[in-house]
Amino acid sequence: MNLKEHGIEKFGQLVEQNIQQAKYLTELIETEENLELLAPTAMNIVCFRFKKEGMDQEILNKLNEEIVLQLQERGIAVPSHTRLNGNYAIRVAITNHRTRKEDLKTFINVVKRMAKEIEATIL
Rounded to an integer, what is the distance from CA 74 to the centroid of its chain? 16
Least confident of 11-15, 87-91, 111-115: 11-15
Region of residue 112 (left: phi > 0; alpha: psi -120 to 50; beta: else): alpha
For domain 2-122, give the fold.
Answer: Aspartate Aminotransferase, domain 1 (3.90.1150)
Give the global pTM.
Answer: 0.91
Confidence at residue 8, expressed as pLDDT on a 0 to 100 scale: 74
Confidence label for 15 from pLDDT (cuts 50, 70 and 90): confident
**Domain spans of the chain?**
2-122
pLDDT tens column, 40-65: 998 999 999 999 999 999 999 999 99
